[in-house]
């Protein structure tokens, strides 16, 4: 199969002794095909061709995505999105913890670690969720038994039958309007457990931006979930 059929920048084929089947990972402008050691090239080509439509669709989505939402690694000077606001990480000698100053997240070059930054980002997102929840819960007349952050690979949020609302922690890199939409969506499930007309009517009543949020989640959001 020619690369032009996929319209991709590069197609990388890896052979792995640990792989049990052929897998395909689509990145912006790059496709990685991993196959068990000894897999015939013809079989790899056949499987990749069979998935060509799916690959094209993923590449088209990523072409519309904002790839600056979250860096591969957080290091001094890294630029990322904090609730829709572009900020840069600055590591200095006379700082402790994390502070947001203007468009910079300041931390100590001596004590900085990615896990510590991610814990701080969790706090930022949770504070935002608590603030947003007040208005939504008052309008709905319902409150969740618990709100927590999660690491779901395929969903942005959930609402359990016990009333626990889970919000994906990666939404800290999304615009506030998108965070509001996802939170409101899950809170409405406290009233309507389905996606009926009543559900959508209730959600519209909370005045969140449904069309633009859905579009963002289908494009930039899909890329962010894959990180």
pLDDT tens digit sequence for 134-152: 999 999 999 999 999 999 9
Closest listed residue to residue 226, CA positions, set 151, 153, 149, 122:
153
CATH of domain 117-225: 3.30.2010.10
Q: In this predicted structure, what is the pLDDT of residue 1?
A: 41
Distance of CA 99 to the CA centre of its chain: 23
Contact by Cβ (8 Å): 178, 213: yes
What phi, psi does 117 have (nearest 5°)?
-65, -45
Q: In this predicted structure, what is the pLDDT of residue 64?
A: 84
Q: In this predicted structure, what is the pLDDT of residue 60?
A: 86
Every domain of the chain and the residues it spans? 3-63, 117-225
Q: In this predicted structure, what is the pLDDT of residue 226?
A: 83
pLDDT for residue 165 is more than 50: yes
pLDDT tens digit sequence for 168-191: 999 999 999 999 999 999 999 999
pLDDT tens digit sequence for 73-102: 999 999 999 999 999 999 999 878 899 999
Quickly list H helices, the chain.
3-6, 41-50, 52-63, 114-140, 176-188, 197-205, 210-218, 220-225
Q: How many CB atoms lie within 10 A of CB 123?
A: 12
pLDDT for residue 218 is more than 80: yes
Q: How many CB atoms lie within 10 A of CB 37?
A: 10
pTM of the full predicted structure?
0.82
């Amino acid at each position: 199969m020619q690369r032009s059929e996929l319209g991709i920048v590069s197609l990388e084929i890896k052979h792995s002794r640990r792989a049990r089947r052929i897998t395909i990972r689509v990145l912006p402008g790059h496709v990685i095909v991993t196959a068990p050691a000894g897999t015939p090239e013809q079989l790899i080509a056949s499987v990749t061709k069979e998935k060509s439509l799916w690959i094209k669709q993923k590449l088209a989505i990523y072409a519309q995505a904002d790839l600056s939402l979250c860096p591969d690694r957080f290091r001094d000077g890294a630029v990322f999105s904090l609730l829709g606001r572009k900020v840069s990480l600055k590591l200095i000698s006379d700082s402790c913890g994390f502070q947001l100053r203007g468009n910079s997240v300041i931390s100590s070059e001596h004590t900085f670690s990615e896990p510590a930054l991610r814990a701080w980002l969790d706090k930022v997102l949770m504070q935002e969720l608590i603030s947003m929840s007040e208005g939504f819960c008052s309008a709905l007349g319902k409150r969740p038994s618990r709100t927590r952050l999660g690491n779901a690979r395929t969903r942005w949020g959930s609402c359990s039958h016990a009333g626990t609302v889970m919000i994906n922690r990666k939404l800290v890199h999304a615009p506030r309007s998108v965070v509001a939409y996802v939170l409101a969506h899950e809170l409405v499930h406290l009233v309507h457990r389905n996606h009926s007309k009543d559900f959508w009517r209730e959600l519209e009543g909370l005045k969140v931006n449904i069309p633009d949020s859905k579009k963002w989640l289908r494009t930039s959001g899909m890329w962010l979930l894959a990180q």
